[in-house]
Amino acid sequence: MTSRAVQYARFGGPEVLEIVDREDPEPGPGQVRLAVRAASVNPVDWKLRSGAFAGTDAPERPVVAGQDVAGVVEALGDGVDAFTVGDEVLGHARGGAYAEKALADVSRLVRKPSSVSWETAASLPVVVTTAYRALNLLRLGGDAPGTVLVVNGASGGVGIVVTQVAVARGITVVGTASASHQDDVRALGAIPVVYGDGLVERVRAVADHVDAVFDTAGKGDLGELVALTGGPDRVLTIAHPDAQTHGVTFSSGGGNAEVEGALAEFVGRLDAGTARAPEVVVYPLEKAGQAQEDNRTGTVSGKLVLVP
């Protein structure tokens, strides 16, 4: 059987993405094949496609884009007993998620509650695992009442998740966002402030101290964020290009940095109605290039999701 997938055979702009028909991938040991219902777009997708992390003009073989996936289990690899055919799941794809069929390691999947839509489910894996990882790296992995955390970019996907998780742990969150998103940040349980020039003064006006800063936006003066804590050791960024200049830790994730059970915990909160997910904007699979470009430029608010 064949199915469609979005792939690139050379590095470059969104124009290098193409839809191809390919043989359905076969799951190996510990893997399942999913009938994909939705896949989300993350900055790492277009950075990889651009060749930003490569030293050549093209990958060794065509690459199917995407990591976040939600779908229905349709085939099991050897040794799989955690799921059965027909189960609805979400998590991280192995070998690309922008497709009608995708593989995933069962260890990177969780069950999708019926209360969570396919599009929302697909939007969660990277933003949730990133949020929990950041809190751990900032030594805020458990309850921390009395702690003040500044989240730079609290109205974005990762910001929305990390703010809610931190607030649930008793942390006072000061969230930066544009003037138009102040009410959105307040609704998450955070103290909203407008980002931009004068940020340090605005934060100090609402918090008598700052214990840690998490930069999700990669914009603005990173030096101002360092000034809030008095040093770079309590500042973490996932996006700022000046991290090394300021001695700030840059976290790209992976390996031992990931928090076991993070995705399942947050999905459980959604199902219980005690948390909310980022808003999603849906594109057809054929518009993958446009979705990546809209994600890169920030011209569309919300978590961008592809549906086959």
Check whether residue 295 and residue 246 sit in a common domain.
no
Last residue of a domain, one of 233, 250, 267: 250
What pLDDT, on the 0 to 100 scale, is given for residue 61? 95
Same domain (yes/no): 172, 187: yes
pLDDT attached to residue 219? 86
State how many domains the chain has. Answer: 2
Identify whether residues 112 and 65 lie together within a single domain.
yes
Mind giving me the DSSP string for the chain?
-EEEEEEESS-SSGGG-EEEEEEPPPP-TTEEEEEEEEEE--HHHHHHHHTTT-SSSS-SS-EE---EEEEEEEEE-TT--S--TT-EEEEE-BS-SSBSEEEEEGGGEEEPPTTS-HHHHHHSHHHHHHHHHHHHHTT-SS--TT-EEEEETTTSHHHHHHHHHHHHTT-EEEEEE-GGGHHHHHHTT-EEEE-STTHHHHHHHH-S---EEEE-S--S-HHHHHHHHTSGGGEEESS-TTHHHHT-EE----GGGSPTTHHHHHHHHHHHTS--PPPEEEEEGGGHHHHHHHHHHT-S-SEEEEE-
Q: Classify residue 266: in a domain, yes or no.
A: no
290 and 225 in a common domain: no
Would residue 267 count as lying in a domain? Answer: no
pLDDT of residue 256: 64
Report the pLDDT value the prediction gives residue 255, as an integer from 0 to 100.
Answer: 63
Residue 269 lies in a domain: no
Q: Which stretches of the chain score pLDDT less than 70?
A: 254-256
The CATH number of whichever domain residue 181 belongs to comes to: 3.40.50.720
Per-residue model confidence (pLDDT) at position 253? 72
Check which CATH number belongs to the domain holding 73 and give it.
Answer: 3.90.180.10
Contact residues for 208 (Cβ-Cβ < 8 A; gap 6+)? none
70 and 166 both lie in a single domain: no
Q: Is residue 265 part of a domain?
A: no
> Could you tell me the residue range of the domain that residue 94 belongs to?
2-124+277-307
Residues 86 and 143 in one domain: no
